[in-house]
Structure 1
């Protein structure tokens, strides 16, 4: 299988698209690489699409790109037409300065605009980590557009606490040095970061998975855009109050499943229990011994929990 390009890639984009294509080949995924043009700071959004059926929107996490979902696409494309946008400032989407745009509403409004550009009124939505926050916030701000909601890996928005490493990023001067210092530059460094933040066991992940992230970080404006997002999200004390969605989610009747590993680096499953209980149609599936991006672990537990929920009538 392969990755089809909707337009001739630029010299800067071509190596990145080649690595995405290699990853699609590895996971036997037949996908298309496309762009939409939007008004405002998110002027160009790059996305992958694959499969046939009703729409399913996938929203990736803080430092990842569309590549993080490719290992899961084969299981989803038998049931859905999948759309995987790269958040502005990641991959081939326009770099933005989140200190100027903010994140709480911008991150939801550009998703709504993206759906509008594709003529999608209503869709199932799945998010991971910061993409989980976007999925939940989309359900809060535009509930009529969300058919089902699946949060795989701990979503932001249910706690203001963050791991100590991420609080250190908000220490003046030192935080910026730490951010640059901890950015992976080699595949072994990227694997070590994945074991620290994303998975318990990285043995199922090929080197080409990490090559996408390494090349993506070299694309113009992406590193600085990610730094601006970290500055916009929190302080040394944790995430800003505006990103706490717990009260606004209470009573939401959208069918929702949380798929959450016990070894999640960011938050343990019990962080989500109060929110799950407050949502009439929500449920929590706990995966023993799995990390923050559980579908990348070397077993099918997360994949089965996601497909079972999303594909059910």
Structure 2
């Protein structure tokens, strides 16, 4: 299969796109690499698009990129036209200093601008982790833009608690040292870090999946942008108060599904169930022995739970 371009790749972008093409080839996916020009500070946002049908927006997590969704493309693109942007500062998107922009408002603003740029008025949305936060916040701030919503893996925004390891990044001096120390420079290093945080069983994840992330560490501004995001999100006490969406999402009435693994590194299902239970039109799927990115586990359980809901076949109406 192929990765096509609506642009002429730069010398800087070429190694990343070559690695991304290998991921598409492994998963037998045809996709297009494209750019949308958005108002500053978002600048140029790189995205992947594929498929036919109504639109589906995919929003990735904190340290990942649009590449994280490629393993699901085969299941999604028969029914949807998918749009998977790299968050500004990740992948090939323009680097952003989140200490200047913040994220609660900007994380929704650039997504709304992106939808405008690609000509989508209303869409189904699926998000993972920080992308799950953006999905929920987009539905809160712009309910007219979201048709239905799936949070796959625990979304940020439903608890201010964070794992101890991530709290350490906010220790003066120590935090930045840890951040630099854990920079992954090889595929085995990336795999080990990924398995520690994102999946229970990495047997189904090929080496090719990790190469764009390793190559991407050298893209201009990416590491600094990620560090600025970490500084913006939390403190040693946990997530900052503006990232707590619990009260706001309870008022959402659009169809919503949470797909949540019992072994999620960040938050257990007990964090999400009360929120889903208080919403007018939400359901909750618990997956035994699945981690934070459950569609990358060896089973198809997470993908099936997400796709059947997004297609309107099951779940709240």
**2:20 equivalent to 1:20:** yes
SS of equivalent residue, structure 1 residue 257: strand
Name the CA distance, whole Å, in 2 between partners of 1:248 and 1:270.
Answer: 19
CA offsets per residue over residues 45-83 of structure 1, 9 Å max, x none?
A: 000000000000000000000110000010000000000
Structure 2 residue aligned with 1:129: 129
1:147-158 alignment, distance < 5 Å: 147-158=147-158
Name the CA distance, whole Å, in 2 between partners of 1:136 and 1:28.
Answer: 31
Name the CA distance, whole Å, in 1 between partners of 2:309 and 2:71.
Answer: 18
1:126-275 alignment, distance < 5 Å: 126-275=126-275
How many equivalent pairs are there? 313
CA offsets per residue over residues 93-118 of structure 1, 9 Å max, x none?
A: 00000000000000100000000111
SS of equivalent residue, structure 2 residue 213: helix
Q: 1:192 Cα shift?
A: 0.7
Name the CA distance, whole Å, in 2 between partners of 1:105 and 1:155.
Answer: 17
Unaligned runs of 5+ in 2: none
SS of equivalent residue, structure 2 residue 154: coil
The runs of at least 4 consecutive aligned structure 1 residues that moved more than 6 Å come to none
Which range moves more in the overlay, 249-258 or 48-57? 249-258
Structure-1-length-normalised TM-score: 0.99
Name the CA distance, whole Å, in 2 between partners of 1:251 and 1:43.
Answer: 33
SS of equivalent residue, structure 1 residue 7: coil
SS of equivalent residue, structure 2 residue 125: strand
Structure 2 residue aligned with 1:73: 73
Name the CA distance, whole Å, in 1 between partners of 2:116 and 2:265.
Answer: 34
Name the CA distance, whole Å, in 1 between partners of 2:250 and 2:205.
Answer: 37
Name the CA distance, whole Å, in 2 between partners of 1:292 and 1:284.
Answer: 15
Structure 2 residue aligned with 1:92: 92
Unaligned runs of 5+ in 1: none
Structure 2 residue aligned with 1:118: 118
**2:298 equivalent to 1:311:** no
Q: 1:212 Cα shift?
A: 0.8
Q: 1:251 Cα shift?
A: 2.3
SS of equivalent residue, structure 1 residue 260: strand
SS of equivalent residue, structure 1 residue 169: helix
SS of equivalent residue, structure 2 residue 170: coil
Q: 1:186 Cα shift?
A: 1.1
Which range moves more in the overlay, 182-191 or 219-228? 182-191
Name the CA distance, whole Å, in 1 between partners of 2:213 and 2:250.
Answer: 36
